[in-house]
Structure 1
């Protein structure tokens, strides 16, 4: 079944082709893009389109590749042996399967999301090369080999915070999610808010893209933040009216805390608005 847009997710033609190519090649799909562009949501939609389960492995700066395979709790085993607890001789009782183990031993093909891989240290991707390539790994404590019963569809996301090793990239199908243009953003808004007033969408999108284009902005507002902002505007008629009557020379739009997330950008926008007011005099 080919991946396509749904009632809850707007996929560009390039993204559809990338997903379907990765599934056909049985290669991990590496998705990069700005935060908030729907990379994680893509995996959820792919699982839904394949009518299968999504297994998510959220990566942190402290995450090690081995944790995705399994973890051996030697401390608990030592404690239990000292207490004379039964079953301590069976090392399998102290193995905690990771997300790859869970995906490999599933009774059906699943979608495995390795989310924000660039948060881990530089060796993390290389440490997963063989396991993702061969779809198997060895459990040293028991001597068994865990092999994938059904090859999972692997989706890997990255916010591009650090470069990934070439050897890892060679094994992936890559796609960069470009930030949506106004028409695509309109389609995304329509998916989330089918009953929203056209005037509100038009004005909000105009302000949103103005903010993103502000020179020197440290953090540009994302798609997910636009959705949050629109949700707030729809619930607040006074904020809507303030948006309709907004003067570009005023620093910030109503409920700007949904879009502008640090004091440097707030101060920058205030300075830009001040300069605009001076030019009018």
Structure 2
């Protein structure tokens, strides 16, 4: 996925994404585009769930709007935010300065609530008239249990929502319904059944068979020379994932960082060998129990 159109949207990613999607994942994306359903992605941390949205947006030249979900997030946050405090401030300033000075800045007119509405990632995508957008809702399971079901009220016909403070309705054009990519790490268990029924689901497996192609694409994009010991590094890395009882297996992103360290910082003392200690284990091991198993016991 590295072929942007000639005239991408101004909000489209500008950097190519060296993403190698499996045929099954590409099919899931196409189904989501055609059916207008959210695409729910699960998989190990670092397997490429988040980067898929960037790759699709870059390849299609579509705007990308990212929404990082937090424990305090509400569904409305993705639609719009209303700044009531700033409106109150401007109203007080208007009374203090007088209407003449205030009229010089119509955007601060407290009489018009539209001046205090800021669209969120979903709201911006709905308001687009010229093209669809890709909306990334990252780590949806961090939010409250009601959050996913609240999204269903807008991610379906008529693809519209109302800004309560101004009475405006924002409705997506039929040809511009966004592609909504949702990632989940199952931090709080399974998502609600009604939400799951609405989504197209895909589990991204760790790309063992594609690992060398991913490495080649990553190093070519950054104009870096691949380490001579790439094949050995792949074998050692896969053996670590498959042979050790790790609480957290390292993912693709950790492997790429590790390989880059091998390419640029390896000395005779830290040279990668067939059965010796793993150089730079801090790039692969992220839990104390795993560190004890892999590093200290050897």
Instruction: List gaps (5 residues or longer) in structure 1.
Output: 274-281
| 2:230 aligned with 1:205 | no
| 2:192 aligned with 1:165 | yes
Distance 1:122 1:187, change over 3 A: same
What is the aligned partner in structure 2 of residue 189 from structure 1? 215
* SS at 1:196 equivalent: coil
Runs of 4+ residues deviating >6 angstroms? none
What is the aligned partner in structure 2 of residue 268 from structure 1? 293
What is the CA-CA distance between 1:23 and the residue it aligns to? Answer: 1.0
Give the conservation status (yes or no) of the 8 Å contact 2:241–2:250: yes
Give the conservation status (yes or no) of the 8 Å contact 1:233–1:239: no
Q: TM-score, normalised by structure 1?
A: 0.87
Identify which range, 165-174 or 155-164, moves more after superposition. Answer: 155-164
Aligned mates of 1:91, 1:259 — CA distance in 2: 51
Deviation per residue, 1:233-272 (Å, 9 max, x gap): 111241696212652xx4xx11111111232221122454
Q: TM-score, normalised by structure 2?
A: 0.82
What is the aligned partner in structure 2 of residue 130 from structure 1? 153
Cα RMSD for the two superposed structures: 2.1
Aligned mates of 1:255, 1:173 — CA distance in 2: 39
Aligned mates of 2:270, 2:163 — CA distance in 1: 63
What is the aligned partner in structure 1 of residue 258 from structure 2? 229
| 2:126 aligned with 1:104 | yes
| 2:199 aligned with 1:177 | no
What is the CA-CA distance between 1:43 and the residue it aligns to? Answer: 0.6
What is the aligned partner in structure 2 of residue 21 from structure 1? 31
Match of 1:83 among 88, 93, 110: 93
Distance 1:66 1:272, change over 3 A: same
What is the CA-CA distance between 1:206 and the residue it aligns to? Answer: 1.8
Aligned mates of 2:147, 2:168 — CA distance in 1: 23
| 2:22 aligned with 1:12 | yes
Give the conservation status (yes or no) of the 8 Å contact 1:73–1:94: yes
Aligned mates of 2:295, 2:42 — CA distance in 1: 32
What is the CA-CA distance between 1:215 and the residue it aligns to? Answer: 4.0
| 2:178 aligned with 1:152 | yes
